[in-house]
Amino acid sequence: MKEVTRKIPKKDSLGLLLGKPVYTNDLSPKEALVVKVLRSPHAFAEIKNIDTSKAEKIEGIECILTYKDVPKIPITRAGQGYPEPSPHDWYILDKYVRYVGDEVAIIAGKDERCVDEALKKIEVDYEIFEPVLDFEKAENHPSIIHPEKETHPMFEIGFDAQKNIAASYEMEIGNVEEELKKCDVVIKERFYTQAQAHVAFEPHTATSYIDMYGRLIIISSTQVPFHVRRIIAEAFSIPIKDIRVIKPRIGGGFGGKQAIHGEPLVAAVTLKTGKPAKIVYSRKEVFEATYSRHPMRYDITLGASNDGKLKVIDMKGLSDTGAYGEHALTTFMVAGAKTLPLYNKVDAVRFSGKVVYTNKAPGGAFRGYGAIQGNFALESAIDMLAEKLAMDPIEFRKKNMIKEGETSPIFKIMGEGREGVDMIVRSCKLNECIEEGMKLINWKKKFPRKKISETKFRGVGMAIAMQGSGIANIDMGAAVLKLNDDGSFNLLVGATDLGTGSDTILAQIAAEVLNTKTEDIIVYSSDTDITPFDTGAYASSTTYVSGNAVKKAAEKMRKLILKEGSKKLNLNEKNVDFDGKYIFEKDGDKKISLKKLATLLFYTENQKQLVADASYVGEESPPPYMAGFAEVEVDIETGKVMLLNYIGVVDCGVTINPNLAKVQIEGGIVQGIGMALFEDVKYSPSGRLLTNNLMYYKIPSRKDIGNIIVKFIESYEPTGPFGAKSVGEIGIDTPPAAIANAIYNAVGVRINSLPITPEKVLKNNPQG
């Protein structure tokens, strides 16, 4: 391969480094009205009266909108496959406010000064209700968070608003209770994972205007432009054809932009006034009024025989979706679907639980999407079971984990919000990942611990993980290639580059098929009017789903070039080939350059534009695999944990661009380390978010994360483009469990709730 597997810099890297105007706020019309939101100071209340008269008199104010001024249509903001598994429980504006930060009124004015002044002049009378702040007490709480009759599920998912249940799910293979009786060793443990903020450097931003044809145009920092178009059309009862959504460069998303946030707010202003409008969330608003990761609780029961065979896995979960049910069921199901198949040789397995509403900021999509929560619980419990069996935890995993050529019944039973797809794992180098990780961390010499001083101990721990590559039979990507008159190509894709470099990777795939240079593939992405449909950047889908679409389109283009070239050479199509520059006779001297062919086609002979298109829906979702290894140093006097080394060894198939794959894994690992040791979303007793700025919400800096080593073990996935699988999420999954296991091995302290803080280490230290 010439272009695939090359370490090509991102196509947009130079422009970004030079500070070119490429982000949503850069592209907003200069005359756009400034939009801000009056937000609820209460966790749960009903608006009894709202007086905007004083605010409306302020010079420069163009409009103030309340729930009385916008359509009352229940929607879900979740940008995921249609029909959406998430309940329709959100309104553009509502008389109920369900968390501190919920929208009360939309204010638009000519500048920030007048809008800020107007925010202070709006008078609101609330009837305050008792909020539901503890997700373990949410079910059957006296306060019903969604009492409105319009709120409804898209289809039956165990939704019961009267009990504050957004979703529930249960499946069982075999008989868990009967098989547990046959086990020699059984462990039962409870684990908690916390909310986590995305902290993308670019805040949520959107702008809107009416074009010359009277259509609503939205420019948005979004991961899902086509879903945004569909949801906005539903919310305002506007035909989809009258809406265009454009996604420019994005300064990070991580799942936080896999939904609508500011888009309906600016759209409401533009539709009311006819004028351009823009909203740029403050950092406080990003924390308080967008998404966080769903906090979850898991009760894990594992059973095994004395010879180390894992016989039973039982996972019972409870998830906190916050005030709205976006991604409620899907995130919860993925916690099982992307962990349970790791151990496919059990006699019985059960996964069950509920997702409940609370009066906190909504939970939503976040890199790892439930898998990281389930992985922390299961991989911590696996270590505990191995210890009870007196087995090395790695040997226990090797004995029980999935291998190439095998399958799991979980694949078919559990999808994302619906049934999954039966499949055989065609590419899995998990065993090789473990072996390489053991060498890099020097496991045999360091496991389980090493005493450094009277108060400091070092330990190593590990965890394994899997993800997916898109959502089988649901996610679709499409691509269009057109030949230009200089022999270059335009590649149009609906796929959304979040900063991951997907534009570059997709260009590499096209270039490889066409035997040309990546530089000759000009990519245009994510414009709902111009580019073909794509579900968006989520579920680790872009390289696999959109990449396959690009590969198919490029193969069609190659055939078109051969067909037209053979005509110009007066040869049978079977007798010509194409090397990227020339269409040439296989066994002769005739040839024509692609550039000359394009010129003839465009300007002189049998004129035509060569265009090729293709779509792809995965019939499978081949998992990437990872083995993560952590080495920590723990001070038993202070409880401080220092992460010295983190090793991530990954099987993501063939790496289309090794450099971009590497930084994806590194970024995921760092976010996983943040969840393991540092990050915690904290609320006051009244439901006010305390960690609403970067002074109080701590993400790890470079000095906090020690040495990170990433290595790839190459496999070949026959269903992927040039053997590739996904890489975007797998890096985040292993750090919480691997670090928790390392801490236990170092000092004998088992922490079952994240984040692992010095206080928790000291409190649970048996030597303290």
Structural domain harbouring 427: 296-471+620-764
Q: What is the 3-state secondary structure of 490-556?
A: EEEECCCCCCCCHHHHHHHHHHHHHCCCHHHEEEEECECCCCCCECCCCCCCHHHHHHHHHHHHHHH
**Side chain identity, residue 89:** D
Under 8 Å between Cβ of 63 and 266? no
Domain with residue 95: its CATH number is 3.90.1170.50
Average pLDDT, the chain: 97
Q: Write the pLDDT tens digit of every residue in 553-607.
A: 999 999 999 999 999 999 999 999 999 999 999 999 999 999 999 999 999 988 9
* β-bridge pairing 103-109 and 61-65: antiparallel
Under 8 Å between Cβ of 217 and 246? yes
Q: Measured at the alpha carbon of residue 709, what is the angle toward residues 706 and 710, in degrees to the nearest 5?
A: 140
pLDDT-derived band at 81 (thresholds 50, 70, 90) equals confident
Average pLDDT over residues 653-673: 98
Residues of the chain by 3-state class (helix, strand, coil), percent to 5: 30, 25, 45
Residue ending a domain, choose from 586, 617, 648: 617
Asked if residue 719 and residue 635 are part of one domain, the reply reads: yes
Asked if residue 481 and residue 466 are part of one domain, the reply reads: no
User: Which residue reads 């309340």 in tokens?
Assistant: 66
Beta-ladder partners of 35? 108
Question: CB within 8 A of 116, min separation 6: which ones?
Answer: 36
pLDDT of 67 > 90? The answer is: yes
Distance of CA 125 to the CA centre of its chain: 38
Distance of CA 25 to CAs 215, 249, 524, Å? 20, 10, 19
Q: pLDDT value at position 165?
A: 98
pLDDT of 690 > 90? The answer is: yes
What is the per-residue DSSP string for 246-285? Answer: E----S--TTTTSB-SSHHHHHHHHHHHSS-EEEE--HHH
- Least confident interval from 16-20, 240-244, 505-509, 613-617: 16-20
Asked if residue 507 and residue 420 are part of one domain, the reply reads: no
Average pLDDT over residues 72-82: 95
Asked if residue 446 and residue 379 are part of one domain, the reply reads: yes
Query: What is the distance between the alpha carbons of residues 338 and 474, in angstroms, rounded to a whole number?
Result: 17
Q: What is the largest CA-CA distance in the chain?
A: 87
Asked if residue 503 and residue 443 are part of one domain, the reply reads: no
- Give the E-state strand segments of 579-624 in sequence order: 582-585, 591-593, 611-617
Which structure tokens are listed for 681? 């979303």
Q: Measured at the alpha carbon of residue 588, what is the angle toward residues 583 and 589, in degrees to the nearest 5?
A: 65
* β-bridge pairing 185-193 and 296-304: antiparallel
**Is residue 194 helix, strand or coil?**
coil
Asked if residue 465 and residue 572 are part of one domain, the reply reads: no
Average pLDDT over residues 148-174: 92
Share of the chain above pLDDT 70, in %: 99
Distance of CA 418 to CAs 82, 117, 332, 453, Å? 12, 48, 12, 53
Q: pLDDT value at position 767?
A: 62
Average pLDDT over residues 681-698: 97
Residue ending a domain, choose from 600, 617, 634: 617
User: Which residue reads 């959502």 in tokens?
Assistant: 471
Asked if residue 462 and residue 318 are part of one domain, the reply reads: yes
Average pLDDT over residues 479-508: 96
Asked if residue 607 and residue 736 are part of one domain, the reply reads: no
**Side chain identity, residue 9:** P
Asked if residue 640 and residue 524 are part of one domain, the reply reads: no
Task: Indicate the pTM of the whole model.
Answer: 0.97
Q: Could you tell me if residue 146 is inside a domain?
A: no
Q: Could you tell me if residue 189 is inside a domain?
A: no
User: Which residue reads 């797998």 in tokens?
Assistant: 730
Query: What is the distance between the alpha carbons of residues 443 and 437, in angstroms, rounded to a whole number?
Result: 8
Average pLDDT over residues 185-201: 98
pLDDT of 419 > 80? The answer is: yes
Share of the chain above pLDDT 90, in %: 97
Asked if residue 285 and residue 363 are part of one domain, the reply reads: no
Distance of CA 77 to CAs 87, 231, 297, 617, 758, Å? 10, 7, 25, 24, 38
Asked if residue 574 and residue 438 are part of one domain, the reply reads: no
Q: Write the pLDDT tens digit of every residue in 132-158.
A: 999 999 999 999 999 999 999 887 689
Q: pLDDT value at position 606?
A: 85
Q: Write the pLDDT tens digit of every residue in 422-465.
A: 999 999 999 999 999 999 999 999 999 999 999 999 999 999 99
Which structure tokens are listed for 562? 């051969």
Q: Could you tell me if residue 101 is inside a domain?
A: yes
Nearest to 738, CA basis, from 594, 629, 657, 642? 629
Total domains present in the chain: 3
Residue ending a domain, choose from 569, 590, 617: 617
Q: Could you tell me if residue 29 is inside a domain?
A: yes
Q: Could you tell me if residue 266 is inside a domain?
A: yes
Q: Could you tell me if residue 646 is inside a domain?
A: yes
User: Which residue reads 């006097």 in tokens?
Assistant: 637
Q: Could you tell me if residue 543 is inside a domain?
A: yes
Domain with residue 310: its CATH number is 3.30.365.10
Q: Could you tell me if residue 152 is inside a domain?
A: no
Q: pLDDT value at position 750?
A: 98
Query: What is the distance between the alpha carbons of residues 765 and 310, in angstroms, rounded to a whole number?
Result: 29
Under 8 Å between Cβ of 387 and 324? no
Asked if residue 663 and residue 553 are part of one domain, the reply reads: no
